[in-house]
Amino acid sequence: MAGSEGFVGADNAEAIITRIEHKTRKIESLLKQYKTVEALKTALEGTYAMTSDERCKSAHWIAVHRAIMAIKDVDGMLSSLDPEYYDILMKYLYRGLSTGDRPTCDQCLRIHEKLTERAGHGCILRFLTDTVNTV
């Protein structure tokens, strides 16, 4: 996988954080134009890079959370989302569910049901068994 290393040096983490901030600004602008699906895709891209650093993971999560909460039409969103994003989206949904925050959980649960219909139980299994690429 391009860009995945075990140990994250301080410089690299800073570079990632900067990239994420850049991404967040892009997401904000997409949301202003009501392009929620694009925003989600942007948020989900590149999340596997440097996955061992907690700060990077948190920063990625904040961006994805923003995009997830902005979604109103779940069916529409899933129809236009490429299947390659299903697995990573499922992982973030479970992260959302683990926060315990009511609005986040409601939204994640709503998306989880539709995503399971589309992607099947295999998608859930891949989240459960993947202990290496965690979000």
For other proteins, the closer of residues 22 and 118 by Cβ is 118
Distance of alpha carbon 3 from alpha carbon 71, whole angstroms: 29
Site string for other proteins, 89-118 (x = CB under 8 A): -----------------x--xx--x---x-
Residue 113 Cβ vs other proteins, minimum distance, rounded to whole Å: 5
Q: Which long-range contacts (CB under 8 A, 24 or more apart) does 110-114 make?
A: 110/74, 111/68, 111/71, 111/74, 111/77, 111/78, 114/74, 114/75, 114/78
Residue 88 Cβ vs other proteins, minimum distance, rounded to whole Å: 12
When asked if residue 10 is in the footprint of other proteins (CB under 8 A), the reply is no
Residue 26 Cβ vs other proteins, minimum distance, rounded to whole Å: 28
For other proteins, the closer of residues 59 and 127 by Cβ is 127
Site size toward other proteins (CB under 8 A) is: 19
When asked if residue 52 is in the footprint of other proteins (CB under 8 A), the reply is no
Phi-psi region at 102: left, alpha or beta (left = phi > 0; alpha = psi -120 to 50): alpha
